[in-house]
Structure 1
Amino acid sequence: MRAADSRQLDLFGAGDGPAGAPAAAPAGRTPHPAIPPSAIPILPGPRPPAASEPPPALPPGARWLTLQLDGWTLGYALRRARRKTIGLHVRDAGLAIQAPAWATRAQIEDAIRHKAAWIRDKLEDRDRRLEQLALQAGQWRPGGRIPYLGVAIELRLDGARPARYEGDPDAPAEGDRLYLPLPDAADAGRIQERAQAWLQARARIDFDGRLRRCLDRAGQSIAGWGLSSAQGRWGSCTSQRRIRLNWRLIHFAPALIEYVVAHEIAHLKEMNHGPAFWREVERLCPDFRAARDTLRRQPPDTLPLI
């Protein structure tokens, strides 16, 4: 999150840097359980390579090594580089390490052990992202499934009637069906376009209700709000009291949407991310911490529905 010169407060940037510890949390963070994975469903798809398996191709000059870490085997690509420190990067192919010529194998492994928890978290994030992206190729078809308000709904085609939802769109259940007004021969691009149009329409309805209820709790008003398709943030609030919410939030469980709404409305009172701001967020959304951390691990540009 950052404050822009135009006094627009953004909710989350592109995520943590490529090496080192994750970005620092705001003041006042306390330990808490994570929101369950069902916040945005993982749909079945090809699994990413295990952390111990070498990628199909290594970077030039790199070699593949493994290290035993408390009951699990970690593989990594090691490349010597002209640098002063040992750099760790988790990429789609796995853990990549750049080390200066003077660093011994023991020193490199000590650095890995020191960052073991961070590495495991990043590898889990990678697994989740790759599973979601692997889904995309077969997603836009009759019988394909997409996440909507935290559950997986099934796509069906029915060219004879307008789009319709089989179930309760305000309280979806696993396996509900979305019928799109397309012929059976429709290609993936048309199916994606129609499905996203429906999702955006539902986002307008859903987010509007949540905004109104949260504004009532906050005793605040806004000049207006709209949907965003930003790749790097979930929401924003300007000093002109205008709020934008990323439509892709409609994929997530309601608790996460509630947090983003509360976050932006809190900026109407505190145009910063100081302690008073977080107290206001907690007043509007008492369980915000779990949602905040879940969204930090799921930036908008990693969602499959882009």
Structure 2
Amino acid sequence: MPPSPRRLIGPRPRTLLRDRTAVHLDDGREIEIERVRDSRARRLRLTVGERGARLTLPPRASLISGQRFLHEHRDWLAQQLAAQDTGGVVALVRGDSAFLPLRGELLPLCWSEGRFAQLQSSGDGVEFRLPARAGTPAIQRTLRDFYEAQARADIGRWLPRYLPGLPRAPARIRLRPMSSQWGSLAANGVLSLDLSLVLGAPAAFEYVLVHELCHLVHADHSPAFWREVEARCPDWRLQRDYFHAEGRRLKARLHALLSG
């Protein structure tokens, strides 16, 4: 009698259960936390991103142990939230917001009524024209289009300088908000850049572009790769330090402006 076939058992599908909880900081603030029970998690983990704080619990961890973990790490949480400070930048309010962040500066912002939603440079600042009935979604769409156009203008100035030393040009350049990375290069040659780069120092933005372009030469982060970066951007360490100091704030600002 032939042996019965063995049943192959694959990995169990990942399950995520989400809810909300809160923790009180020593300064009196109550901070809302996204609580996620992850079937693949092995330990309690607290993280802070541009979307806020999240507590991850493994399947067998109790809610009480999760609250205790939050309480024990409340000082760390306060420090991380301070690092996420948007510098006073929140979602734009029509007729009220007076400044717009761009290229490491806060530009004077004026408002006017127009037939179409449009944001454009005006003297030393920017002017936001909106139809009378335009609401928050129109403001956010127009602002995102403006930032992407400004970022592409910067890339258009920088890119010709670097193309002659590359084996090929990027297949396409995408600009979008990215949760953790500043840029990436896909196997198909599509180069993605974080839209929040246009809010920061132009030299730092240019460094990220150079970094990703050098992956067309070396796909890894080997010494040979960093030699390529060094040849094109000698002050890359300075720009990397800039992101360590300001990176979270840039991402939080963009999130506040486009999703606040």
| TM norm structure 1 | 0.54
- Equivalent of 2:169, from 222, 232, 244? 222
CA distance in 2 between partners of 1:204 and 1:235 (Å) = 14
CA distance in 1 between partners of 2:45 and 2:193 (Å) = 34
Q: 1:265 to 1:154 in 2, by over 3 A?
A: same
- After the TM superposition, list the runs of 4 or more consecutive aligned residues in structure 1 that deviate by more than 6 angstroms: none
Deviation at 1:57?
7.3
Counting aligned pairs with the same residue, the percent is 27
Counting helix residues as a fraction of each chain, which structure ranks higher? 2
Give the structure, 1 or 2, with the largest relative contact order (CA under 8 Å, sep 6 or more).
Answer: 1
Where 2:139 maps in the other structure, the secondary structure is helix
**1:201-260: per-residue Cα shift (whole Å, max 9, x none)?**
1211111222222334x3443143322314332211134433222233111110111111
Q: In the alignment, is residue 305 of structure 1 matched against residue 248 of structure 2?
A: no
Where 1:189 maps in the other structure, the secondary structure is helix
Q: 1:239 to 1:88 in 2, by over 3 A?
A: closer
CA contact (8 A) 1:157 1:183 kept: no
Q: 1:140 to 1:212 in 2, by over 3 A?
A: farther
Q: In the alignment, is residue 126 of structure 1 matched against residue 81 of structure 2?
A: yes
CA distance in 1 between partners of 2:170 and 2:140 (Å) = 32
- Equivalent of 1:284, from 232, 252, 259? 232
Q: In the alignment, is residue 238 of structure 1 matched against residue 186 of structure 2?
A: yes
Q: How does 1:202-217 map to 2 (within 5 A)?
A: 202-216=150-164
Q: Which residue does the alignment assign to 1:55?
A: 29
CA contact (8 A) 1:159 1:182 kept: yes
CA distance in 2 between partners of 1:202 and 1:274 (Å) = 32
- Higher Rg of the two aligned structures: 2
Where 1:268 maps in the other structure, the secondary structure is coil
Where 2:216 maps in the other structure, the secondary structure is coil
Q: In the alignment, is residue 262 of structure 1 matched against residue 217 of structure 2?
A: no
Q: Which residue does the alignment assign to 1:81?
A: none
Q: Which residue does the alignment assign to 1:182?
A: 130
CA distance in 2 between partners of 1:283 and 1:299 (Å) = 29
CA distance in 1 between partners of 2:239 and 2:248 (Å) = 11
Deviation at 1:283?
1.8
CA distance in 2 between partners of 1:274 and 1:246 (Å) = 23
Deviation at 1:186?
3.5
**1:271-294: per-residue Cα shift (whole Å, max 9, x none)?**
001222122212211111232243
Deviation at 1:190?
1.8
Deviation at 1:163?
4.3
Q: 1:156 to 1:227 in 2, by over 3 A?
A: farther
- Structure 2, unaligned stretches of length 5 or more? 1-23, 34-42, 54-71
Q: Which amino acid aligns with 2:107?
A: I
CA contact (8 A) 2:175 2:192 kept: yes
Aligned length: 208
Q: 1:305 to 1:291 in 2, by over 3 A?
A: farther
Deviation at 1:150?
0.9
Q: Which residue does the alignment assign to 2:4?
A: none
Q: In the alignment, is residue 274 of structure 1 matched against residue 222 of structure 2?
A: yes
Q: Which residue does the alignment assign to 2:104?
A: 150
- Structure 1, unaligned stretches of length 5 or more? 1-49, 60-84, 94-111, 168-175
Deviation at 1:160?
4.0
| TM norm structure 2 | 0.62
CA distance in 2 between partners of 1:89 and 1:244 (Å) = 28
Counting strand residues as a fraction of each chain, which structure ranks higher? 2
CA contact (8 A) 1:210 1:258 kept: yes
CA contact (8 A) 1:234 1:300 kept: no
CA distance in 2 between partners of 1:207 and 1:190 (Å) = 26
C-alpha RMSD over aligned residues: 4.2
